[in-house]
Amino acid sequence: MTDYPQILFKNRRPDETVFIDDFRKTGGYSGLEKAIREMTPQEVRETVKRSGLRGRGGAGFSTGLKWSFFPVDQPGEKYLVCNCDEMEPGTYKDRQLLSADPHQLIEGVILSAWALQATEAYIFIRYAYEQEARHLERAIAEARAAGYLGENILGSGWGLRIHVHRSAGRYILGEETALLNGIEGVRPNPRRKPPFPAVRGLWGRPTTINNVETLANIPHIITGGADWFKCLARSPEGAGTKLFGLSGHLNRTECFELPVGISLREVIFEVGGGIRGGKPFKACLPGGASTPYLTGEHLDVAMDFDSIAAVGSRFGTAGVTAFDADTCMVAVTLNLIRFFARESCGWCTPCRDGLSYVQWLLEELEEGRGGKEQIELLEHQRRNITGRAFCALAEGAMGPLDGLLRLFRDELEDHVRKGRCPFRA
């Protein structure tokens, strides 16, 4: 397999977690020292903006642009929140990063809080990531003892406290405003926007929310520079590297750090080792469970936000789940919709009732009880739910359904024509 530049995974070792002594041997905290001693917070923000870094939590929004909405000069408490509520099926990159190198995130949080002049930071972590939470708490204690946290960090006159907050364990908590409610200890329904968190977030104060992988990139951008970071990508629209979580019917199902802009073909057949048993590739989810499928006709697409959007899907979290030619895509979609329907917070009708109805329609078709009218009702529900739900959960759930209806309608029709799932023995 090709050797790819390792930035986020440079300290990754089998069955080992790197803590502060080894972290500093490979340049750890040099980005923070450079930023505080040689740069203003504004210069840090501008460097991140020029780097082209886009959010690694799924939405792909420009990190520098997001930071530009934050009222840095507003007096009073301001918050930075790290979203590690990683509950989307097929996405496990943040856990791998924290298992390998928790100080990388801690440095990224401190550096980003310095850039935003926030004085409190929260790492909101999935309930099941107990070992990773303990690693973070140890890393925070080590950073505090070394003078990177607390009051007057590196003589700057600025201080920061970082808290690790364990999630209560629902997928909706990955939505940024539901996450804020979760920290505050109230029911985690999404909040109406505007106001956006940058104006009124945690406890009514300005708040920025970024993903684990996003924040872990910040120290490398400061030490390497914006132009260096851009050049890590293969496509002109991209910047940096990306953690790809491979799963499904591949020979190698691991998390790999790969350049943004690598082709889907290279991800599947070189990095992933091809489909198990030598079977043909049929389709994949390119960016986690909430993204529309890509098929063999898309194998040469560049894995970056704009290129994948141009062919009707999303880069998302780069959780690539591959399916072989013997896979029923109706069954795959039903499995995903069951997850989304169960995880709905019930706040709005399109999500609460619409997803359950889509689940029932797919169950009828998969069991051979559906007719053409069920397919038409799926089309209607896709149109009815898309763009009308209160938050992005239901919108994301329509991703695989959209892919099924556009790319695998023939399989839906086969279920109707044969009165059963044609992929079952």
For residue 58, pLDDT over 90 is answered with: no
Query: 118-167: per-residue pLDDT in tens?
Result: 999 999 999 999 999 999 999 999 999 999 999 999 999 999 999 999 99
Cα–Cα distances (Å) from 110 to 84, 105, 242, in that order, read 16, 9, 21
Q: What is the mean pLDDT of residues 42-56?
A: 96
Q: What is the mean pLDDT of residues 205-209?
A: 97
- CATH for 241-324, options being 3.20.110.10, 3.40.50.300, 3.30.420.40, 3.10.20.600: 3.10.20.600
Cα–Cα distances (Å) from 209 to 123, 205, 315, in that order, read 10, 13, 19
Domain boundaries, the chain: 20-231, 241-324, 329-418
Closest to 88 in 3D by CA, of 327, 340, 313, 315: 340
Q: What is the mean pLDDT of residues 270-293?
A: 97
For residue 53, pLDDT over 90 is answered with: yes
Name beta bridge partners: 302.
263
- Rounded to whole angstroms, the Cα distance separating 323 from 423 reads 13
CATH C-level class of 329-418: mainly alpha
Per CATH, which fold does 20-231 belong to? Rossmann fold (3.40.50)
